[in-house]
Amino acid sequence: MKKTARLLLLAFAAGLLIWFNQSYLNISPEMIKGWILSLGAAGPVVYILLYTIRPLTLFPASILSLAGGLAFGPISGMIYIMAGASGGALVAFFLSRTFGRKMVPDSEWISSLKKIIEKNGFLYVLVLRILPIVNFDLISYAAGLTTIRWGTFLLATIIGIIPGTFAYSFLGSSFTSDNKMIIFIAIGIFIILAIIPILFRKKMKKWLFSNEENEVKKDA
């Protein structure tokens, strides 16, 4: 009962943070860009730090990513976004590893999922980062509950977020361009990368669960 109460409390707190962000802060990429650029040389460092602590606030990663492209351009923006996103993933990972085991109630499904990630951690994290059919932060928190090494988790995350990071950075930077062709190309790339997870969602779930069953049978 205590574990269930803790989970309900966490869910309520998460919902409250999301509601507060959307109802009162209502921060746009343009607002973040203006503020970051006003910091001068310290802007990139502050941006990366903000992105790193983002999982603690549940602030939408998409807004920060678009702001990175807007403020720093496609190349520098991509580098800073990847640095911040990777740092944020580690924050969620270590939070889960430190406190998650006490918060998440154990079950047969969670136990079998842990076994799979522990045996094929790099592959699973990499695929789920490339095809984001699961929320970014949820992957980090789930990985923290397993025995996967943080270095393996980080490497899979860095490689896996390259396509999506490029799409957000390129799209954000295109908003400041007067060339309509660049804007259309950026939007096209973003749409393609957004549609792919939707098209492969069912196949990915089938692959994940079939592997889960096979691993459980092997251990039986």
When mean pLDDT is compared across 31-45, 90-104, 177-191, the lowest value belongs to 177-191
- Residue 7 is predicted with a pLDDT of 42
Best-predicted range by mean pLDDT (22-36, 54-68, 107-121, 166-180) = 54-68
Pick 58 or 52 by higher pLDDT: 52
- Say what the pTM is: 0.73
Domain layout of the chain by residue ranges: 27-219
Q: Give mean pLDDT, residues 33-47.
A: 84
Residue 58's region, left for phi above 0, alpha for psi from -120 to 50, else beta, is left
pLDDT at 158 over 70: yes
Name the pLDDT band for 67 (thresholds 50, 70, 90).
confident
